[in-house]
Structure formats: structure tokens, C-alpha cells
Amino acid sequence: MKAKTVLIFLLCILRGSVSDEDITLRYRKKDFPAGFLFGAGTSAYQVEGAAAEDGRTPSIWDTYVHSGASGIMGTGDIACDQYHKYKGDVKLMKDTGLDAYRFSISWSRLIPNGRGRTNPKGLQYYNNLINELIGNGIQPHITLFHYDLPQALEDEYEGWLSPKILKDFEAYADVCFREFGDRVKYWTTLNEPNVLPLLGYDIGQIPPQRCSYPFGSCAKGNSVVEPYIVAQNLLLAHGHAARLYKEKYQAKQQGFVGLNIFVYWFVPSTQSPEDVSAAQRAQDFITGWFVNPLVFGDYPIIVKKNAGSKLPSFSKSQAKLIRGSYDFLGLNHYTTIDVKHEDHNLEVEERDIFLDMFAKLNLKDSFEFPSKPLGMQRVLEYFKRVYGNPPIYIHENGFVTLFNESLNDTRRVRYLRGYLGSLLNAIRNGSDTRGYFVWSFMDVFELLSGNYTRYGLYHVDFNDEDLKRSPKQSALWYSNFLQGGESFSLIQKPVNQPQTSQSAQ
């Protein structure tokens, strides 16, 4: 699979090829359950800026974008400058009507060397942001790790490839729980840990840019085994942090801890047994790879079978640590894609994870995709059926456009309407989904395309010295919906669906 194709696949910047007939659903905010949260999100490197200010040290993303090898438009050096503009941004959130704001903490801002001394300026910034949010009636939802590992830890022991990361991540989490947990009730340990091994260690598209021929062209790495090692360490790091919170803080702070996963809805290209099986393999390799250990204590059967000895095994104590180590799951969902079986020789040793999956993902080379909202409902029904209906927050859902989009972003409005309507259908069918966050609150420095693409409700003029924020039509629509206005969606009727998962252990 070519690197560019995989990049597009994991970026959600593709076109689904499923043909659906639309039906209309009208709804209001009051149709959602009492206490249901509506918010929007960003992440630290993508929005804060102040990359070298007040004691912050580089993360692997700082190193990457300044290496000259990224090919990304812009850097996160300034980004949206939320480090200095957080009060104005919080006011915009309040004016929009957000219940909650999802953001991440920069590990290298809070603990510059990755371990040891806490940076008082970093501590002050996050305390100020949290207090500003709460003072404006907005609930903070914090992600501890959103791709931006301190460069110091990558240099010292190759970051997520080493079991040494487990102790350092737990210590970092301890600082966050201790310093902010009296006001923060929702903690996500990791953002999209199922994406990092693929893009960072298989094709080397993002830092730390590790891969091997023929799966990518990197200075170092091993695409065959490293993604599985990194995935195991990510799961164990989550387990350690979650256990720490539950044993040391939860009783007093009364908060919740969970993990975030990137999810597609996969449909078979045809109803042939081969394509139906391929769609399920894709689901197990992309979703079950992480969710199965959390729910059942082990990897999916098909992942173990196809990956073989490359896949690390869990000891009894590790399985116990990970299984049930969440109060909720966060899902990032953008679109639906169709899958076709593709033959590969499973006896060949030099395979990366995509060949282990041996399914063809039908993609088109595009930065835009049509609304396929039925996928939201199907994903949530899948989690209800296969994983026991865990509490879920939709952490990311949004529509991408190019940098020169108009403020009249009617396609984004249409997209959000559809996915919210699909979400409501899932809830009415029994899904225990408790919140929804648009990605993103404002245009941010997108990790795989920099300033070239936009997801924001608010436009940020990156050519303006003051980085002026302007509401798009989507911001006005979302605000009106949050204040009780009626919305409607065009929900697609189902066509092809994967069969019941092999995932259950």
C-alpha cells in the first residue's frame, strides 16, 4: 500500500463509494438525553503556539516540522496562539453555547524533560485555562497525550518503543491528576493510539518517522514488528495511568478516565463471503486491535492469527491491568469506506500490518468527502453489540475543506447535521453515548496537512498578525442548535454491512 494512500486513509480525507438513499430526520437539542454534552475540541500542538516560551521544550512534532522533511504547510510554533489568547477563545466557546471543551496538555510544556521537574509556567497556563473554562460554565475534558511526545524521551530511549515509557507516562499522568483533578472530571489517556503505530512506525509519515523498505523510506525503523510493539506499550501505558487514577484519585475527585480510538465504519464492496470477511478483518485490525484488549483482555483472534509471532502477548497481570481499564471510550469518527478482499501470501514473513490485514480499502485521492452519516449509527450499534454498550463520547467528528474555503461552509453544516441525526438515532436505539465534540472548534495546525486544510467552526486568518477568529456558517448553525433551534439531517439507509464480529473472545 503506497504511503500517500495510507495517509489519505488515516486522515479521513477520502470518498466513500457506498450508494445510499436518503431519508429526513428533524431534531432539536432537547431530543438528546438530559445531561448529554455538546462541545468542540483541539489539541495542544495544534492550537497553543508559544512553542519555545516559558520553559516549554520541543516535542517530536517540533523536530519533525522543522526538519524540512515533513512537506507540511506551516508549523505549530504559533498555531492559533491560544497560549496567549485563551480568554478570548473561551469567550467564543461560551457565546457559541458549548457545554464542554476537549483539549490536550503538552507534556513537554508541563514537564520539559519528560520526567522530573514540573514547569511552573506550564502549570500556571493550564490552571488558568481550566479556571477560565469553569468560570464560563464550560466543562474541561483533557487528553494527556495527543501525539506530541517530548523529544527528550525519544532521544533517550526511542519513546514508545521502550518499556521505560510506562513509568514516565504514569508519572506525567500523576502530575496532571494531582494538579488539575480537583476541577477536571474527564480524562482521556491517549488520543488515537491505533493510528500512531501505523503512521509513525509502519509508513513513517509522522514523527518519529520510523519505517523500513518496502513499506516506507525512513532513516531507521522496522515496519514489520515495531507497530505491534508500540501498540502494546500504548495499551500498557493507558492501563498504568488508569489504575493510578482509580486507586489514588477517583474516590476523592469523582472523575472518569478513558481511552480514545479512531474508528471507521467498514462495509464490504459486495455481499460475497470474501468481501464480508475482509470488512470484518479491517474492523478488527483498526478498531479491535485496541478495543478488544480493553474489553476482553486480548487481541482479536484474526489479528493474532495473521500477525503471528510479530504480535506481543499479554501476561496474566498485563491482561488484568488493561481489561476494563476505562470508564468511557472516546471515538473519533469521520466517514465510511468500503472494503474488498485482496489475496496475499500469509506465509511471507516480511509483511507490514496492512498486508497482515490483506484487505483492499477503496479510496480516492481527495481532500474532501461526501457526508455518509449512517456510519455513525452503525459504529455505535457495533460497539453496543460487540463490546457491551460502553459509555461513549464522540470526541471528534468534522468536515475537512481546503485552506481557501468560504465562511459560508454549507457543506460542513450539512455534514454535521447528518452525523448528529445519525448519532441521535443510535441513542434512540439504545447506544450509551453521552457526548459529542466537533473537530475542530477553530481552524488549527492540522498534523498531516498543516495550514492547508481546515476543520474549524471558526476561521483563523493565519496571515493576520492577530490571528483573527471569524465565525463560519457552521459556527452559527451549531450555536443556534445548542440554543434550541431545530435541525434536520439526511440519514442514509443501510446498504452493505459487515457481519457480526470475530472480535468477541
Query: CA–CA separation, 430 vs 438, rounded Å?
Result: 22
Q: What per-residue string of b and e applies to 394-413 under the rule 16 or more CB within 10 Å gives b?
A: bbbbbbbbeeebeeebebbb
Q: Which of 48, 132, 154, 396 is catalytic?
A: 396
Query: CA–CA separation, 221 vs 223, rounded Å?
Result: 6
* CA-CA-CA-CA torsion sign (439, 442, 444, 449): positive
Query: CA–CA separation, 12 vs 264, rounded Å?
Result: 9
DSSP-based three-state secondary structure for 439:
strand
Residues in the chain: 505
Whole-angstrom Cα Rg for the chain: 21
Q: Which of 192, 226, 405, 446 is catalytic?
A: 192
158 is catalytic: no
486 is catalytic: no
* 254 grid coordinates: 469523582
Quote the crossing angle between the two packed helices 120-135 and 164-180, to the nearest 10°.
50
DSSP-based three-state secondary structure for 481:
helix
DSSP-based three-state secondary structure for 353:
helix
- How many beta carbons lie within 10 A of that of residue 74, not counting itself? 16
* 182 grid coordinates: 480537583
Query: CA–CA separation, 171 vs 237, rounded Å?
Result: 11
Positions marked catalytic: 192, 396
